[in-house]
Chains A and B, each alone.
Chain A
């Protein structure tokens, strides 16, 4: 077959099927008859005899002749699939290049048929033929394809067939078979190169993710010892994509952005964005622009609540020398800052920039305004002077109002306006917004109900507040009723029904303890912590209730139980201090209050109590009392007890005008005091 003649043109022939080369030609019938009988060697030898061909033309001519033949007449069975299988069984042990060539010729013919059928839209038949190719290859190489001994063209054809089979099954609509084909292709050794293997793995991963059909676990034969075996589609797709990413990191295959995007989609659905962060960090520089990488990482961190890390990244990305006007990054930064009063001032800057940019591009302006309002409101909470606080609060309200003007039905803006007005004790406006919020959300968000109940309680409409709380309890699932039941108990206390309040607490306690014991092994750490916090709050609430009734024995029991949940708590120490105070043990009371203040420097009730006690100890301690009470007011400007005691301090000091002002403020606040602090809402 190693002639030196040049290959010639194949003749156009639509009626007589013939091979031709170098001027001679022969009809195909003879060869076909031999092929039909399954004897490839004879077919090949007759070809060789009659057509003087070199190896190259031997490869193209029968191929193109068969191809053209099939193109015109796909029903011809000149290369029928079943026939060569028997001949190949004879070739099993014989892997020399000659028989490989023979095999390749025949298989290429079938492959041409397959491609033609595909182009004609006959996918099921094409898939069947393609399967036969793979079966045949499997019989030639029963131990899998060895690396070095396979002729390159044969390998190429095998790779193509292997890549094509699952696609054909998909196009034929046979999805379960496609899944099985993908697994067969990927789990058996076909000696595929990295690119081909990568493409097939990606196609399989995409099919697993989006076909909507569960693949079922792979067969046991495929599992090696200790290997990880996936149990559902996501569990199979995600590791495949991770394997592909690893190949990209090692440079085995080219960078393909779709792999990362598929992984991003799958991992964000599973809320596993830290895994995505790892992948992004491993990518070489230059794949993404650095600000794009930082922004994506920030989104990944923010998605699981790692706000500090997200802020660090966003600060880099929004730096003046990088991309300071990226709207998504600005809004994300503003949002994270709006949740933390220490970051609120920084957040105002980002939100303002977002608003300025949004005006230019005319999109998401209302989001920017809303973030601005939130950040300003949070900043107001930590401002040191009264003047600045009221200025910031006014600006916050202005921002929120303009955000609302763009979007009248945005529930978040409505809620935030309601909460702001409530904190400023503009109770009528707050009530309007709270009612609207519940209407818009259909009562599905608990904080709306709580806000409404608190506003009603601040207006001293306790019975109505209790009705609202009961309605909310009807609409809430059992395990989320905790805060509402606590609210209900406090409302009962305000209506002088302490025994009913105790009953409510006991019911709540049973609920919380049942929840702690109910959920089985799937409990994660944060859930365990949450349950402890809930039970702590119940015991603490009961302790506070009993101490208002002066049942000291019960208070001690409750404090002890609460301490089991949370050992170091300013509230508990404060409660003990109150107990000492009521029993007349002033020194111990003072010690407890000071300890509580040390445990939590922002815990206002202790400061107020210390100030109150000190103010009674003589004129020397009045300045200290005044400092402490002023500090309390700085943290919580609407604390009526602080106003009252400060008024008394001024009176004792002889500053009667000031005293009158303060006592009046205390009196006004008392008239509009909610049963729980409005701060607990926002």
Chain B
């Protein structure tokens, strides 16, 4: 499922020259990790194997769910923070893989007045990375009307205006640098971490996406809807402003309608979408109602065999 890295020739050249330094960095990271986890399989030797190894992931996930995991002196948080700051982009992906758990547990524990400095450091590091990467520009999308011709259609634009009115929609406003986690900016900082996660989602393993769906359920309704387990524990819901909701909806859209083959992920995403729909009705949030209800309808349509005819099939009526 991982795609090839879209790199220019110069990027691949530099990566090959520093490949040795990256691999040594990966080694030292894995070494550091072995002192924190109980077992690290010997098959884990490079950053991509670290990303996909299920034993390592499940151990890290369990440790992160520990009641005291987010504090400032926690080893695992420190490891995640250091790993994210390494120059190897593959190692950054390893940290990104755990964003759903870190964000989920962090937000759920806010009301408990525990020390969460470890989680905050990781989230702030992700936020700082995005702030530098975006260089003070917002992420915007131009939504054109069809009067201007595009590469996909002709248009009868009789009046050639000099400057067509840009219908610029801002998907993600400009980021201000934040050194500390201020409560009023918490949702934005976590939202930006989720946006970063979404930008690399095609390279994330399925287990990471499953964790995200699980936390969506908890955020929305407080009920952990695990398809496998019968128990559902009641936890506190969190405030879901648009800054958190929008990236979550994009991730769920990928889990539900993206080109992957995991049935488990599909079911988990379906439940998470239903939870978010109920939550958007509860908050009477019009945009969220529109987005979640359309996802639910699309999911139903995807399952309907009458609507999914394969037009590329050969017409066999002539054969016999």
Contacts and interface: CB of A to CB of B under 8 A. Distances in A.
27 contacts: A67-B314, A115-B312, A173-B1, A175-B3, A212-B254, A214-B199, A222-B151, A230-B151, A231-B142, A234-B141, A261-B301, A262-B298, A265-B294, A265-B298, A268-B290, A268-B294, A270-B171, A272-B143, A273-B286, A331-B281, A367-B284, A441-B111, A441-B239, A444-B184, A479-B176, A522-B138, A522-B174
Closest 6 CB pairs of A and B: A212-B201, A442-B110, A270-B169, A444-B183, A303-B286, A228-B150
Contact of A226 (B148, B257, B284, B319): B148
Given A164-B312, A328-B281, A444-B239, A522 B182 contact: no
B287 interface: yes
B44 interface: no
B185 interface: yes
Contact of A275 (B143, B185, B249, B319): B143
A210 B146 contact: no
A238 to B, nearest CB: 6
Nearest to A299: B286
Interface residues of B, number: 73
Interface of A: 9-10, 56, 59-60, 63-64, 67, 111-112, 115, 160-161, 163-164, 167, 170, 173, 175-176, 178, 186-187, 196, 199, 201, 206-207, 209-214, 216, 218, 222-224, 226-232, 234-235, 238-240, 242-243, 246, 257-258, 261-262, 264-265, 267-273, 275-276, 296, 299-300, 302-303, 328, 331-332, 335, 364, 367, 371, 409, 411-412, 439-446, 474-480, 519, 522
B65 interface: no
A654 B189 CA distance: 65
Q: Is the interface of A mostly helix, strand, loop or mixed?
A: helix
Contact of A271 (B281, B284, B287, B298): B287
B254 A211 contact: yes
Contacts of B307: 258
Interface centre among B148, B151, B171, B182 (most CB of A within 10 A): B151
A212 B198 contact: yes
A175 B150 contact: no
A199 B311 contact: yes
Nearest to A206: B257
A271 B169 contact: yes
A176 B4 contact: yes
B165 interface: no
Contact of B169 (A240, A257, A272): A272
A239 B152 contact: yes
A167 B291 contact: no
Nearest to B2: A173
Contacts of A268: 287-288, 290-291, 294
Interface string B225-262: 00000000000110100000010011001101111000
Given A265-B290, A328-B281, A445-B184, 5 more contacts: A213-B202, A229-B151, A240-B152, A332-B284, A446-B184
B133 interface: no
B66 interface: no
A303 B287 contact: yes
B170 A522 contact: yes
B306 interface: no
B143 A227 contact: no
